[in-house]
Amino acid sequence: MRMIAVLIPALLLAACSQPAPPAEPAVDAPPPMEARAAATPAAEPAKPAADPASTAPTAMDEPAADARARIETLLGDAAQYEKVFNTFKTAVIGGDRAAVVEEVRFPLNISGGKKITGPGEFQRNYEKIITPAVVKAVSEQDFSKVFVNQQGVMIGDGQVWLNGQCLDQACTKTEVKVITIQ
């Protein structure tokens, strides 16, 4: 009888308690499909009238427009990201170490949670950083198919990340560079 007297209030409290709220998504998790569709503009900004490509976009332009729109929405100037992406890709494929270094922000995050502090250290460890897997990921990546979230633009399966850094207090000017190679 004493057991029932203890259990009844506990059961009543349990029956009246509210369910736990749903867990918040991780900071780096991509937005849900519905939110992504609503947050992403359908087309890229209008081009100057003198540009013959300013007519209706073709099916080939749509993925690129979507990647650019996601970058514009989350990170800023998509043209700046595309320029760094293309320059870095050309340099990596061509084995141009000096050009690769120009597109990197130091300290550079590398695999194993390590950091490369400057261009000299990067050059000394170039083969360990720009591995065949990194070259393959970069060479096969198309800008129109990059993954974009609040952390930046991802190349491959995370082998390389690009992101911008504010150059002034108001963040009106940014500099996009490679921030991670793994």
> Which residues does residue 163 pair with via DSSP β-bridges, in sequence order?
177
Could you tell me the pTM of the whole model? 0.65
pLDDT in tens, 21-41: 555 555 444 444 333 333 433
pLDDT in tens, 63-105: 567 899 999 999 999 999 999 999 999 999 999 999 999 999 9
